[in-house]
Amino acid sequence: MPKIGDIQLPEFPLLLAPMEDVSDPPFRALCKEHGADVVYTEFISSEGLIRDAAKSVMKLDIYEKERPVGIQIFGANLDSMLRSVEIVEQSKPDIIDINFGCPVKKVVSKGAGAGILKDIDLMVSLTKAMVNHTKLPVTVKTRLGWDHDSIKIVEVAERLQDVGCASIAIHGRTRAQMYKGDADWKPIAEVKNNPRMHIPVFGNGDVNTPEMAQKMRDDYGLDGAMIGRASIGNPWFFNQVKHYFKTGTHMEPPTMAERVAAARRHLQMSIDWKGETLGVFETRRHYTNYFKGIPNFKEYRMKMVTSDASADVFDAFDEVLDKFGDYQFK
């Protein structure tokens, strides 16, 4: 059974990926309730933290019920990263995770996220310095490489392990691919099969059905799956995977009443955490998936994603339950 530092995980744990403007406390709480074994915060800028930028500091909020929880930070400046570790420690997370994988241009252009894949020596030295600067387990999330011609993930993972990295999660695409094409898990399996590797190796990318999670476990032999986009508007996904592992059958999809209840709680928790305006705005991206596949739903979805007042969104939920309450999801 895999361990991150002293944190004992179940066999083949399911991890909620850090996702910008998605993996906030309300969403993490829902995913935790529905089977996520480890959750991560949205990625936090080390520069933003040391400048005390409000948005970065707010992302440090973590709650007892979501443990074990990792706070993920990104940056390319050693001094800033070490100072941000000290700030992060005050929130008492279980894990500090370094983002060496974000492909977004504004992050990469500063040499952070996946940008650091152009400078593996810096990636290793930053990790080593952070490991030496904290007693918390330090983990890494990264990609296969900068582009197809520079994939050295087996060597990179081994070097990160050797400087004290406690686990590694690898997204099966290069930075050049962004999110296009299929994730390639073969190089991740090569990392796992390296006889020198002893830390957990988690796979990420395209785990969007229970069958794909099982394939990652059984065909590729990885230690766990990190799940991102498949969980948006679908916090039940973690338990759906676990049910499939246990029984070989698919769990009954959530009913309309369960979906409305989850969407209502999600919105209310978001408002409680970040206020009416942001709470309403940042929960919108989840509704399409909460209510996926319902015919003649456009009018209600538009109301949910264009209303600026939470009262109107809550009214839309009531209307949906009233009109589509008996709808059978497949």
> How many whole angstroms separate alpha carbon 226 and alpha carbon 242?
14
Give Cα 4 to chain centroid, integer Å: 16
pLDDT grade for 18, boundaries at 50, 70 and 90:
very high
pTM: 0.94
User: So what's the pLDDT on residue 140?
Assistant: 98
Residue 52 CB contacts under 8 Å (≥ 6 apart), including other chains? none
> How many whole angstroms separate alpha carbon 144 and alpha carbon 155?
11
**Catalytic residue numbers?**
102
Find the mean pLDDT for residues 213-229: 98
> How many whole angstroms separate alpha carbon 202 and alpha carbon 216?
9
User: So what's the pLDDT on residue 111?
Assistant: 81
Query: Which carries the bigger pLDDT value, residue 147 or residue 209?
Result: 209
Compute CA distances 10 → 3, 92, 203, 265, 292, whole Å.
Answer: 9, 22, 16, 28, 31
Q: What is the pLDDT of residues 277-294, one digit of tens each?
A: 999 999 999 998 999 989
Q: What is the pLDDT of residues 54-103, one digit of tens each?
A: 888 888 899 899 999 999 999 989 999 999 999 999 999 999 999 998 77
Question: CB-side exposure of 52: number of CA atoms within 13 Å?
Answer: 0
Answer whether residue 258 shows pLDDT above 80: yes
Q: What is the pLDDT of residues 140-175, one digit of tens each?
A: 999 998 888 878 999 999 999 999 999 999 999 988
Find the mean pLDDT for residues 116-140: 95
